[in-house]
Amino acid sequence: MQSSGPKRPRNNHTAFSGRRLRAGLAIVAAAWVVAPVNCALGAEANAATATNSSANQQSTHQLSTNQVIAPADPVLSLMLEKGMITEDEAVKVQAAVDARRTNLAAAMAAEYMEPESKWKIGKNIKDIELFGDLRLRYEERQETAPEVVTVKGKKITDSQGKIIDNRERYALRLGLRGDTLDDFYYGFRLETSSNPRSTWVTMGSSSPDPYGKSGSTVEIGQVYLGWSQWSWLDLTAGKMPNPLYTSSLVWSPSINPEGLAEHLKYTVGQLDVFANFAQFLYQDENPNEATPNLGVNGLVGQSTENIFQVAWQGGFVYHVQTNLSVKAGATLYQYFNLVPSTLKAGGQSPYFGDNYVGEGQYAGLTSPFPYNGASGFGTGGILPGYMSANYPNNQVGLDHLEVLEIPFEVNYKIIGLNLRAYGDVAYNLDGRERAQAAADGYRAYLKNVGGNLKLAFPVQGDDVKAFQFGLALGNKDSLGMVNGSAAKKHAWEVRGYWQHVEQYSLDPNLLDLDYFAGAENLQGFFAAAAYGFSDNFIGTIRYGHANRINEKLGTGGTGTDIQQINPINSLDLFQADLTFKF
């Protein structure tokens, strides 16, 4: 399960290096050296014995009667008791010995201690941690379109389109995080790729020259501040790791939402209760007010408000036994300030406020768009209320989307093994209205392009749910290696799950791109295995296969890997990763 949130730095206690250990021993030896005492006593003690014998006896008697405190050095103390030196002489010699000890210790420390760091860190920063990973991947991805039956004279021919990608890829995430004074914390991370749902860059994709850098952009993936004065409250603001308890069914693990988040927790015996609230800025619509004829939105002007996604979550962790725990939560997602496009006012690209349709470009064999499976990528929708960027039918709309999500997991530890049974269930409470708007939108599209109206489908009002069920098994403290959240030498993990996402169930803009193409109306399985070659290097292999659920509908969404197919009839994926985690 995905439960990241802003992470506080780990308190790692590193063992002393050999250089530091030698320095420590040298300091101890210098502090307790006795040789300087004998050297310092040489001349002064002998002279005192020859000239002050009677005076010493009197001084000794006076010291004993007045209970003078003996010097710290045992040799001086003994000579003072025997009357061999006076108290003033003892104090003088003790001072000389202390000075020689201090100088010797400082000299040995200067020789063996490491030089002072040239890095200057502000006094208000309590600690700082470098974190991130570097990943390499080989990937094979194939998507097929539905079979097409065409009639040529009296002969019927079948054909099925497909697209295959074989790619070598890399990704880098590099960040700093830590605590400051007064219970504040901070973090930021740089990432390759500008895609919010993927940090992967394909090798050889730069143009026009080979080995170029045009595709190797580095962006700010995280930048946030937080405050946590009490153990029960945590506040975060900025572009942050996902603060919600969720899974890859609903959220791509690569997304770092922007806005505010509040986390509360309370423990009662074996029960930990938590609540998460989030106010995410989904899209900035500025300028919120612009009068006509000033060049904003053509010459139309606009009156908009920023779109927000709000999440309300509650949950618990129950520790049944020391080796058995149960975790579950419930989250309600809502969207605010959605404004559809109109004939008069136009709209704001990419038209989150318009009605979601989710269908491809196909309009019938005798229409201008006779290829079943073509998404129409590169074109745009022009119907008010169903406007779309890059596709003829809207793939991103948030209309009638109020999702209830229930993630859960059971963790069990036995004989050096960790076992996790996990899942996630989601239901769109406004799904029937969303399905109605999609059916109306596709019918309007067919009519507008001169397509076959018989392709218009009845409202599929039951396609409003999504679920994921899986198992993960690994040796001690290894769960999370498949996702890169854990690393340990000789550790291993295997996991697999079944996933089912219906066409009107989830926000299509948050879906994971890696394993199910970021598309809805697909179901299938995913399996993976990971092994730790060291405490930092992880090898992982993955395989997934999915098929279309409802053949009356497309596979809505804007997956960026293969954008040209909708509907996706089947999908196959193989990945082999090598990860260096730090």
- Identify which of 61-65, 115-119, 534-538 has the greatest average pLDDT: 534-538
pLDDT at residue 520 in the model: 97
| pLDDT computed for residue 51 by the predictor | 42
Query: Residue 164, by phi and psi: left (phi above 0), alpha (psi -120 to 50) or beta?
Result: beta
What type of residue sits at position 105? Answer: A
Alpha-carbon span 456 to 304, nearest angstrom: 33
Helix (H, G, I), strand (E, B) or coil at 122: coil
Q: Which of 89-93, 263-267, 485-489 has the highest mean pLDDT?
A: 263-267
CA 493 to chain centre: 20
d(CA 546, CA 73): 82
Q: For a pLDDT cut of 70, what percent of the chain falls above it?
A: 84
Query: In the prediction, which pLDDT does 3 show?
Result: 62
Is residue 338's pLDDT more than 70?
A: yes
Q: Give mean pLDDT, residues 374-380.
A: 91
| DSSP code per residue over 67-81 | TPPPPSSHHHHHHHH
483-516: pLDDT as tens digits: 988 889 999 999 999 999 999 999 999 999 888 8
Q: How many CB atoms lie within 10 A of CB 40?
A: 21
pLDDT value for 114: 65
Packing angle of the helix pair 53-66, 74-81 (nearest 10 deg): 110
Give pLDDT tens digits for 429-463. Answer: 999 999 999 999 999 999 999 999 999 999 999 99
**The token pair that represents 81 in the structure block:** 């008791």
pLDDT of residue 9: 54
Q: Mean pLDDT throughout 281-287? A: 90
Over residues 385-404, mean pLDDT: 94
User: Where does the pLDDT of residue 122 fall: very low under 50, low under 70, confident under 90, or very high at 90 and above?
Assistant: confident
| Cβ(336)–Cβ(308) below 8 Å | yes
pLDDT band for 130, please (50, 70, 90 cuts).
very high
Spell 508-525 as b/e; 16+ CB within 10 A means b: bbbbbbbbbbbbbbbbbe
pTM over 0.85: no
Q: Which of residues 306 and 43 earns the better pLDDT score? A: 306
* 3-17, 212-226, 304-318, 477-491: range with highest mean pLDDT: 304-318
How far is CA 402 from each of CA 193, 257, 258, 428, rounded to the nearest angstrom?
30, 18, 20, 6
Q: Is the pLDDT at 265 greater than 90, yes or no?
A: yes
Render pLDDT for 230-257 as a digit per residue (tens, 0 to 9). 999 999 999 999 999 999 999 999 999 9
Q: Which residue has the tokens 């143009």?
A: 207
Place 269 in a pLDDT band, splitting at 50, 70 and 90.
Answer: very high
From first CA to last CA, the distance across the chain in angstroms is 21
Distance in angstroms (rounded) separating the CA atoms of residues 220 and 199: 11
Q: What average pLDDT does this structure show over 112-139? A: 86
**278 confidence band (pLDDT: 50, 70, 90):** very high
- Most confident range (mean pLDDT) of 44-53, 146-155, 204-213, 559-568 is 559-568
Rounded CA-CA distance 186/179 in Å is 6
CA-based angle 117:122:124, to the nearest 5? Answer: 135
For the segment 256-261, the average pLDDT, to the nearest whole number, is: 98
Task: Give DSSP secondary structure letters for 347-413.
Answer: --TT-TTSPP----S---TTSS---TEE--BTB-B-STTS-BSSSSS-SS--TT--EEEEEEEEEEE
Q: Across 153-206, where does the E strand assignment appear?
A: 155-179, 184-192, 201-202
42 to 98, 110, 179: CA distances (angstroms)? 16, 29, 56
Q: Tell me, what's the pLDDT at 565?
A: 94
Q: Are 140 and 165 in contact (CB under 8 A)?
A: yes
Rounded to 5°, the CA angle 84-34-105 comes to 135
Q: Domain coordinates of the chain in residue numbers?
A: 19-112, 129-159+169-581
Q: Is pLDDT above 90 for 552?
A: yes
* Number of Cβ atoms within 10 Å of the Cβ of 567: 26
pLDDT at 300 over 80: no
Q: Which tens digit of pLDDT belongs to each residue from 412-433?
A: 999 899 999 999 999 999 999 9
The answer to whether 187 touches 221, Cβ cutoff 8 Å, is no
Cα distance between residue 109 and residue 103, in whole Å: 10
> What does CATH list as the number for 129-159+169-581?
2.40.160
Of all helices (H) and strands (E), which one includes residue 45?
helix 35-51
Q: Does position 70 have pLDDT exceeding 60, yes or no?
A: no
What CA dihedral angle connects 233, 238, 239 and 243, to 10 degrees? 10
pLDDT of residue 287: 84
| 296: pLDDT strictly greater than 80 | no
State residue 524's pLDDT score. Answer: 97
* Two structure tokens written together for 53: 């014998």
Pairwise pLDDT comparison (65 vs 504), residue with the higher score: 504
Q: What is the pLDDT of residue 19?
A: 45
**Model pLDDT, residue 109:** 66
Half-sphere exposure of 549 (CA within 13 A, CB side): 22
21-57: per-residue pLDDT in tens? 344 444 434 434 434 444 444 444 444 444 444 444 4
